[in-house]
Chains A and B, each alone.
Chain A
């Protein structure tokens, strides 16, 4: 059994690394179809990353070691996060390494390093992007924590794989608290991954950028790692969403090879549907002014806290 658990762990991280750009490509393709454009190739993110790895890196003369280090830290944090998120199975050997709160911390490390690196060179746009990123981040983080607290209260644990396992075996019932937190989570996902209502991933206008503005100074392998990390982040968030709100299909606990074999197409199906859903949300909503972003995040926080309160009062 232990061998299977380790195999699941290994497979999960590998799948996250390999599938994250594909998921990003899928979301972009769906968006293009919904907007009546011809879709770019699903493999475009892979080509982009490969191209960047083959280029020579150019680094500003006044860059500190932090600037070179940041892409590796960000990428490492995302891979570590992928290791504790139960995308395929919940019996992960790493699950005692970090609970859901530490997971939020991992995302915070990535954000802090990215922002510091953006400010490191001292260009105006980098600083602007970093400040905006921190503004969105400090509003999104409490909302994400609240969401996790609701799920933790429902399942009496803070370890994400265990939460997912207990929610999956629970008797089917109406949970208004989970419904509210699901809405909150969707909003946090959109904000944290620089998707449309808060940031536009396809923008070329520096004044409206948040995430892209922080990467302006990066090139070649550093940029490739940063973009791969961004794709991984989206993938990780999607998998957290599955773990909390659609935990069915993943192999539970010490289940055997068969459950693992079922969980792979289940994950693929969930990702495909999530991609369409994300693209739909992004197509029907307009980008908010930057100063409206706190309102958006406050609404997400409100939903999460409302879920918590409803759970405490109604026990549902």
Chain B
């Protein structure tokens, strides 16, 4: 640790904070706070990308950092906040399953992710390869967030958080994906968000709520 350069220490700190934010999302009850946490996670991703770009001198990373800032810190959270306001679910909370239990499952998942990423990280030659385990953990924690939530809005936030994890994983394993892929993914996420926004309104029109367990039963059963 002593001989780790300072910028790498900062990168490690960013990775640790990303993981922490994933846990915060897992335990957060309020939808609005969940969106803010997502924006914060995007911002940490932006900082990490900038640091990595500065450290490795890879110019295309600056572009993807800019893309992260515009899309994940500004556009998507703004869109989500707009939707929340339009759907009037500002004060929505979710009855979570038992929080300590969820936390413990999350911790086990992190251990699993770290174990899984270790052999893969050995193959990578980047300075940030240790962060691969954290990226995988962020992805799996986002999965758990989606599984344990019942409101459509929280599930979408979980989905976006998963995308953050994937982006961070690509960054730490190979210093980012090719530019064209990154643009494609960014566009995909944006379009997915817009389509899901329309879906929210449709779901509410049909069921008077955004609770997805209404979708679980078939019409014939009733």
Chain A interface (Cβ within 8 Å of chain B)?
Answer: 170-171, 173-177, 179-180, 294-295, 297-299, 301-302, 305-306, 309-310, 312-316
Contact = CB atoms under 8 A, between A and B. Distances in A.
17 contacts: A171-B2, A174-B9, A174-B10, A176-B17, A298-B104, A299-B103, A301-B103, A306-B107, A306-B110, A309-B107, A309-B114, A313-B133, A314-B130, A314-B131, A315-B130, A316-B1, A316-B9
A92 B192 CA distance: 63
A313 B130 contact: yes
B95 interface: no
Given A176-B13, A312-B114, A295 B19 contact: no
A295 B100 contact: yes
Contacts, number: 75
A302 B1 contact: no
Contacts of B106: 302
Nearest to A303: B20
Nearest to B104: A298
Interface size of B as a range = 20 to 34
Interface of B: 1-2, 4, 6, 9-10, 12-13, 15-17, 19-20, 23, 27, 99-100, 103-104, 106-107, 110-111, 114, 130-131, 133-134
A316 B1 CA distance: 6
A314 B12 contact: yes
A315 B20 CA distance: 17
A173 B1 contact: yes
Contacts of B107: 302, 305-306, 309
Q: In the complex, which of the residues B103, B104, B133 has the most CB atoms of chain A within 10 Å of its own CB atom?
A: B103
Nearest to A292: B99
Contacts of A310: 12, 16, 19, 134
A316 B181 CA distance: 32
Contacts of B131: 314
A175 B16 CA distance: 10
A151 to B, nearest CB: 14
A302 B13 CA distance: 17
A174 B110 contact: no
A315 B4 CA distance: 10
Contacts of A315: 1, 4, 130
Contacts of A171: 2
B20 A306 contact: yes
A299 B6 CA distance: 29
A298 B103 CA distance: 7
A302 B21 CA distance: 12
Nearest to B132: A313
B103 A173 contact: no
Given A316-B4, A316-B12, A302 B103 contact: yes
Contacts of B130: 313-315
| 5 interchain residue pairs of minimum CB distance | A298-B100, A176-B16, A174-B9, A314-B12, A295-B99
A313 B134 contact: yes
Contact of B20 (A180, A295, A313, A316): A180
A312 B12 CA distance: 12
Contacts of B16: 176-177, 179-180, 306, 310, 314, 316
